[in-house]
Structure 1
Amino acid sequence: MSDFTGADLTGQSGRCFVVTGANAGIGFAIAHALAAQDARVVLACRNEDRARAAMARIVADHPAADLDFLPLDQGDLASVRAAAALAAKEPRIDALINNAGVMVPPLSFTRDGFEMQFGVNHLGTFALTALMLPLLEQTATTYGEARVVVTASIAHKKGRIAFDNLDGSQGYARMPFYQQSKLANLLFATELDRRLRAAASRVKAIACHPGVAQSELTRHIPLRRMFTPLLGMVLNTAEEGAWPALQAACDPALSGGEYVGSRGIFEARGPSGPAFRSIAARDPELAKRLWDVSVDMTGIDPGLSPAPGQPPA
């Protein structure tokens, strides 16, 4: 697998991509890049006005862009269900790019009562993916493959899953809960691909991370405005941060189960390629336990059996 940049993205005519959180930052850069390659891009966002404004910006650069808006709030399982039902009306979906997320907000909760970071970043992604799998399977059967892209983070390296404190009732710290949610993303992507392979599915699950990129995700970080000009000189731009997701969604060299991300110093910036997983992220028992807990919490079951030989939860 060679390093991947935006220059390696080839024509995507006839293909359809759903990109969550596509109205700004990395999500917008992903949508813009795909539209430039003639893909149909569905922008799945909470705010319709902001999504429409993002679509107008893309059309200004690419007048023939094929775009649509999908209302989606990953902090509300009812919204996730409704979004999946609307997405199912698409004739095909070649890739679901799970990009939306929140980072280090004060302790707060989703509409369903989950701690915000775990609820939006992991449970919302888990639920949306599970509900969209039937159309992805149909696309894969008809056209040869489809993909699920899950956005993790280098922050997962310090993450641990505190199953006894997922709601923060026994103490909450912003960054550890973010790290937990990003470890959950990586565990989910890996477990999903294992189960898809066991089911002989042609849907591939691939994880990615954007390095450390400028995006609205950092809006809750104290002193962000003060340091943004300095960070802009040393970290990924949103366009560069989009490269790993674009690789995960489109690189024909990937066979499923990979984890790709920025390969520069400390994995903070640069072209996309194979990324480092922590020991916890490689633990199949932990991944299966998280899967089962996620089914229980969301009430949504992807309907995929564990891969043979996996340990019990």
Structure 2
Amino acid sequence: MNRHILVIKLGALGDFVQAFGPFAAIRDRHPDAEITLLTTKPYAALAAACPWFDHVWIDDKPKMWQVTGVLKLRRKLASGHFDRVYDLQTSDRSSWYFRLMGGEVDWSGIAPGCSLPHTNPDRDHMHTVERQAEQLAMAGIESVPPPDLSWAEGDVGRFGLPGRFALICPGGAPHRPAKRWPAERFGTACLWLAERGIIPVLLGTQAEKAEIATIRGICPQALSLAGKTSFLDILGLGRRASVALGNDTGPMHLVATAGCRSVVLFSHDSNPDLCAPRGRVTLLRRPSLRDLTLAEVEQALVELLA
């Protein structure tokens, strides 16, 4: 019987959200076990709010040559006395932890020599959801149903939002500008929504300040929550919003996972076959998002709102 279990999921946000189902399936398979999640600091608060873990540990991700940090991590991992590890990160780093733990623990992942390997040679060509489900099936967890998110209730009442609103995610990774639809078109789409009685609510960080200013210049009715929401808040907002529109970015995974009808925009800078949000989602993809017209986005919104 596995009494002490470690789950590894370090990030990024979209990948973390798509591990909700596996997290829940692991808990269902081991209802009486003490389960610890190893993650990184940005996801610790969200992980602590989840009902699937007894403990959340933060991985500072020391470099291999940072001896003090590596030894500290090794002692931490040893202190858990883990019987089994589910490595859902399946990266070179997380596989290295198998060796750091001595290579004897029952391990689900891709670490060479592990006891429960995911052996599909095409795993890197699978969507994250199917890849993780197959990995768990090979470890004896045959079913990974959609997770119950009734716990995902951020304090969204404090925002004082209207009855009908749309979530808008115009940002994305700063180093990948090709993943962004032009802010001017987001602004016009927001105006289109506002004219139909659906108030646009802009999500993002201070890094999207310029895009949000552009959008509000075109659509003054838009409300900005940039820098004001936690991941848990975004899940709560997703459960209440009429629709969502955004680039291929982490918050759209939260929104879609919460059940919100969503239009997600992809360029050829990322592959939706591997990473697209799941749920009531319409995907629009062009090699360059500058070629995606406002009319196409509006039509997708019309169909979701029908």
- Same fold, judged at TM 0.5 (above): no
Higher helix content, 1 or 2:
1
TM-score, normalised with respect to structure 2: 0.35
Q: Return the index of the structure with the highest Cα Rg.
A: 2
Larger relative contact order, structure 1 or 2 (CA cutoff 8 Å, min sep 6) = 1
